[in-house]
Amino acid sequence: MKPKLLIILGPTASGKSDMAVKLAKRFNGEVISADSRQVYRGLNVGTGKITRAEMKGVRHHLLDVIDPKRQFTAERFKKLADKAIRDIQKRSKLPIICGGTGFYIDVITNRLELPAVGIDLRLRKKLANKTAGQLLSILERLDSERAQRLNDSDRKNPRRLIRAIEIARAQNEIGKSDLQIREVGPPENLIFIGINPSKDILKERIHVRLLKRLNQKDNMIQEARKLHTKGLSWKRMEELGLEYRYLARYLQGKMTREEMIERLEIEIWHYAKRQLTWFKRNKEIRWFESATVAANAIRL
């Protein structure tokens, strides 16, 4: 039985996107992006969004689906991804999920069940004027494990923190977990392939890629400046995290270019380590150090 889903995952800069394109061409597939920031229109260079030329004619889904001024949720991701999968399969093609957002990947493969917790308007009003640091402290008291699962961007995003507090409070009231790991189903229907280069290789790739994005003709500094000119606030760039957080600080004169590059390298490396920590919870993943080796080894 052919897999209903092929999942290509790994840390940032590991070579996932190129590998997904190669496999899509080999197995008559289409790619569904599982990246929490590449869903936003205009966030191209900073997120390393695949270009038309790099797609090599392979259709990609869940890129550029929402304005960056708005919030995008895991619930909406699952709805759009499920629709894309059905559409791809109807056309007798192979859906290939590719990305580094482990939460999104676990949601679409049904390893995680999204919480069914409604909006608490009274709680939201009470928390509205608190800082991100204060909100994080509240969440840590309510549910330290949930607080630890948050990425760097969410830790500084009051909206995400308030939603996490909302869920944690509801969970404590009903006395059971709202976010549970589930078995993925028959292994012949779901194939997980992970790319994990050595520490030194991954660090070098992060370094080279960052400098390229800063120095190319249409670079990410110009991209961030253009986004702000079009109405994306510095505060929202901070919420979007990583590259956009430090680009916003640099463009506001809060740090030098050299300081921005230094901090970004450190933060991107820490992000890659958090990605791997999340992925290693899934024992179904078959790991490779090289995308090339992985692509040659895959047989469907």
Q: What is the DSSP letter of 33?
A: E
Cβ contacts of 77 within 8 Å, gap of 6 or more: 34, 36, 39, 62, 104, 107, 108
Least confident of 7-21, 61-75, 146-160, 222-236: 146-160
CA dihedral 18, 23, 26, 30 (to 10 degrees): -90
- Confidence at residue 115, expressed as pLDDT on a 0 to 100 scale: 66
Model confidence at 176: pLDDT above 60: no
pLDDT digit string, tens, across residues 87-129: 999 999 999 999 999 989 998 998 887 766 777 888 999 999 9
- Confidence at residue 175, expressed as pLDDT on a 0 to 100 scale: 46
pLDDT digit string, tens, across residues 157-167: 888 899 889 88
